[in-house]
């Protein structure tokens, strides 16, 4: 390089320019490579978030548009509505009914799929099948099946002598019915993510554990679950966010889509929708949106802390076990 600088000025310049470029490249390129995400996020994530905050402190009509600045009045109004608290209760109830069984079933399914099965790909694709079905179609079919008087489920219950369950008019049954739709759609998907996590676990551990005489069940609890920690955290956090934002299923669960006559299955997002599009009051709807956002952040953090602790505490015996296994080997 030095000889070239001495011999030819043009070359020198070109080299020094490309030198500069190379330096910029090193410095700036990484940011450029990741910038599309952040630019997109700013447009479709950050801007709506801040704009919603702006709307939430104003009187705002869906068609009439911006009105007076009202400070936190919209928030106070919403927090004083019993409907808001009912919606919060429903959301959590549906979320618990869907998230807990879903992760549980998915773990079991993933563990089974992780074994040496014949026609592996067939089974793995099979569990993903419900995920491909459009949520609207799932909901229409399920809400028909869960009809109070002439639904398939109640007819089946009737034939085995169980009195019909009021799937729409009572709170708990309606939550279970909606959670069933969510689970139907998402369990397979979650199972595949967990399966991917399981496949990354070193086979050596299982081998060592087998030599140690650990049963399959013992291996599952002492190796698989602790090793799945990052995947489990991911699954639980995403299913929490999804669960708290649940909309399609409750919206299509009856003919009016407002969460039932007594708000039996009105979730926060349905309440938001009723305020914004039913009453055309965007200010209040935006306040609900922000409250929901804060709740999700809060639950997300809580979730993370709990999951960490659980996974960390169950880590200890597993590590000991592995050490032992290694010593034995």
Partner 1 sequence: MSTSRRTIAAAVAGAAALALVATGCASGGDAGAGADEKITLTLATFNDFGYTDDLLAQYEALHPNITIVHNKAATSNDARDNFFTKLGAGSGLADVEAIEVDWLAEMMQYSDKLTDLSGSDVDGRWVDWKTAAATDADGRLVGYGTDIGPEAVCYRSDLFAAAGLPSDPDGVAALLDGDWDNYYAVGQKYVDATGKPWFDSAGATYQGVVNQIENAYEKNDGTVIATENPDIKAAFTSVLEASSTLSAHLGQWSDDWTAGLANGSFATMLCPGWMLGVISGNAPDISDWNVANVFPGGGGNWGGSYLTVPAQGKHTDAAREFAAWLTAPEQQLQAFTAAGTFPSQVATYTDPTLLDATNEYFNNAPVGQILIDRSQAITVAPFKSVHYFPINDALQKALTRVDVDKSQSIEDSWNQWIADVKALG
Interaction site with partner 1 (CB under 8 A): 18, 21-22, 24-25, 28-29, 32-33, 35-36, 39-40, 43-44, 62-63, 65, 81-83, 143-144, 147-151, 166, 168-170, 254-258, 260-262, 264, 277-280
Is 252 within 8 Å of 140 (Cβ atoms)?
A: yes
Q: How many residues does the chain have?
A: 329
Residue whose CB is less far from partner 1, 82 or 161 = 82
Element (H, E) at 61: strand 58-61
From the CB of 3, what's the least distance to partner 1, in Å? 19
Q: How does DSSP assign 72-120, residue by residue?
A: THHHHHHHH-HHHHHHHHHHHHHHHHHHHHHHHHHHHHHHHHTS--TTH
From the CB of 105, what's the least distance to partner 1, in Å? 28
From the CB of 76, what's the least distance to partner 1, in Å? 13
Is 124 within 8 Å of 194 (Cβ atoms)?
A: no
From the CB of 91, what's the least distance to partner 1, in Å? 19
Q: Hunting for tokens 């330096």 — which residue is that? A: 23
Residue whose CB is less far from partner 1, 65 or 104 = 65
From the CB of 88, what's the least distance to partner 1, in Å? 16
Q: How does DSSP assign 226-295, residue by residue?
A: HHTHHHHHHHHHHHHHHHHT--HHHHTSSSS-SS-TT-TT--HHHHHHIIIIIS-BHHHHHHHHHHHHHH
3-state SS, residue 62: coil
Distance from C-alpha of 322 to C-alpha of 204, rounded to nearest angstrom: 9
Residue whose CB is less far from partner 1, 144 or 199 = 144
Residue whose CB is less far from partner 1, 278 or 300 = 278
Count the Cβ atoms, other than its own, within 10 Å of residue 139: 20
Residue whose CB is less far from partner 1, 89 or 124 = 89
Element (H, E) at 59: strand 58-61
From the CB of 9, what's the least distance to partner 1, in Å? 19
Residue whose CB is less far from partner 1, 15 or 310 = 15
Residue whose CB is less far from partner 1, 28 or 200 = 28
From the CB of 96, what's the least distance to partner 1, in Å? 22
């Amino acid at each position: 390089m030095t000889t070239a600088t001495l011999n030819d000025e043009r070359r020198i310049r070109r080299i020094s320019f490309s030198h500069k470029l190379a330096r910029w490249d090193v410095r700036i390129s990484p940011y450029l490579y990741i910038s599309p995400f952040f630019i997109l996020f700013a447009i479709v994530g950050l801007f709506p978030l801040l704009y919603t905050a702006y709307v939430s402190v104003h009187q705002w009509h869906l068609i009439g548009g911006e009105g007076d600045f009202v400070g936190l009045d919209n928030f106070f109004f919403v927090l004083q509505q019993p409907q808001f608290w009912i919606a919060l209760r429903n959301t959590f109830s549906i979320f618990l009914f869907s998230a807990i069984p879903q992760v549980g079933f998915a773990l079991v399914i993933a563990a089974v799929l992780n074994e040496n099965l014949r026609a592996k790909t067939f089974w793995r694709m099979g569990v993903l099948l419900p995920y491909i079905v459009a949520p609207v179609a799932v909901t229409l079919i399920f809400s028909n099946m869960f009809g109070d008087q002439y639904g398939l489920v109640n007819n089946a219950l009737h034939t085995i002598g169980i009195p019909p369950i009021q799937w729409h008019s009572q709170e708990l049954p309606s939550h279970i019915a909606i959670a069933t739709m969510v689970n139907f759609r998402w369990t397979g998907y979650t199972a595949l993510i967990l399966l991917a996590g399981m496949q990354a676990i070193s086979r050596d551990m299982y081998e060592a554990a087998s030599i140690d005489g650990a049963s399959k069940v013992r291996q599952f609890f002492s190796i698989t679950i602790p090793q799945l920690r990052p995947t489990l955290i991911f699954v639980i956090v995403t299913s929490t966010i999804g669960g708290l934002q649940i909309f399609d299923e409750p919206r299509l669960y009856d003919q009016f889509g407002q969460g039932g006559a007594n708000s039996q299955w009105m979730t926060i997002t349905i309440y938001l929708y009723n305020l914004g599009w039913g009453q055309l009051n965007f200010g209040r709807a935006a306040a609900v949106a922000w409250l929901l956002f804060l709740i999700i952040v809060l639950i997300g953090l809580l979730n993370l802390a709990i999951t960490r602790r659980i996974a960390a505490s169950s880590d200890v015996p597993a590590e000991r076990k592995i050490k032992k296994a290694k010593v034995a080997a």
